[in-house]
Chain A
Amino acid sequence: DQQVKQNSPSLSVQEGRISILNCDYTNSMFDYFLWYKKYPAEGPTFLISISSIKDKNEDGRFTVFLNKSAKHLSLHIVPSQPGDSAVYFCAASEIQGAQKLVFGQGTRLTINP
């Protein structure tokens, strides 16, 4: 049972445009969400996070939006750059519970020049 779902396995965006990556979750106990970025042959690196008490968090070119009623979050990258080409994983955790993160399947983002 996939509690965190990224339904788009891949996404292709032109350099300079906006990239929007989506993530849905089913567990209503999740209240902290993270995005990780992974290059080939490297481990994932933390990108940005959001607590359920917020609906938006911004860090430079990266913004994460959370819609709790829809159990949906999205990562916006603007403007997209070639170095953003990577696999992006959405993850979720229950603050009051274990330190576990539940990851989505990942979306491969390709930025075209």
Chain B
Amino acid sequence: DVKVTQSSRYLVKRTGEKVFLECVQDMDHENMFWYRQDPGLGLRLIYFSYDVKMKEKGDIPEGYSVSREKKERFSLILESASTNQTSMYLCASSFRRGYTDTQYFGPGTRLTVL
């Protein structure tokens, strides 16, 4: 069974703080992703990574950065948190097999920025 874990389920931070969200997967997947989920907007891709030390911008990268130093771990960094970054953050991983692009998601981190 694939397991994707996220470091916190709930997080409350203040405006201007630096925030780290950690994600770990245990299935040796090459691909890892960070999304945010907001009502009426669905899941929007922030950043993704195909390999260690490799990253690609998603659809909404502004205000975020990422780090992938090890294959199993993908970190999302909010350099200076703002109230509009209050959201549910979801990490996912995938291993490409033929036509299967199935992504496996973690439970999410509900971040509130005050």
Contact = CB atoms under 8 A, between A and B. Distances in A.
A109 to B, nearest CB: 15
Contacts of A51: 99
A91 B92 CA distance: 14
Interface in A31-54: 32, 34, 36, 41-46, 49, 51
A99 B42 contact: no
Interface string A1-26: 00010100100000000000000000
Counting chain B residues whose Cβ lies within 8 A of the other chain, the interface size class is 20 to 34
A106 to B, nearest CB: 5
Interface in A55-113: 89, 91, 93, 95, 98-106
Contacts of A98: 48, 56
A35 to B, nearest CB: 11
Contact of B90 (A43, A91, A99, A102): A43
B42 A89 contact: yes
Interface of A: 4, 6, 9, 32, 34, 36, 41-46, 49, 51, 89, 91, 93, 95, 98-106
A46 B94 CA distance: 11
Given A42-B107, A43-B107, A103 B101 contact: no
Nearest to A1: B59
Residue of A42, A49, A101, A103 with most chain B CB atoms under a 10 A cut-off: A101
Main secondary structure of the interface of B (DSSP, over half): strand
B14 interface: no
B8 interface: no
The 5 A-B pairs at the shortest CB distance, nearest first, are namely: A43-B105, A103-B43, A105-B42, A103-B42, A46-B102
Contacts, number: 63
Contacts of B58: 100
Interface in B65-99: 90, 92, 94, 96, 99
Residue of B43, B58, B90 with most chain A CB atoms under a 10 A cut-off: B43
10 contacts: A34-B102, A43-B92, A46-B104, A49-B100, A98-B48, A100-B58, A101-B103, A103-B43, A104-B42, A105-B41
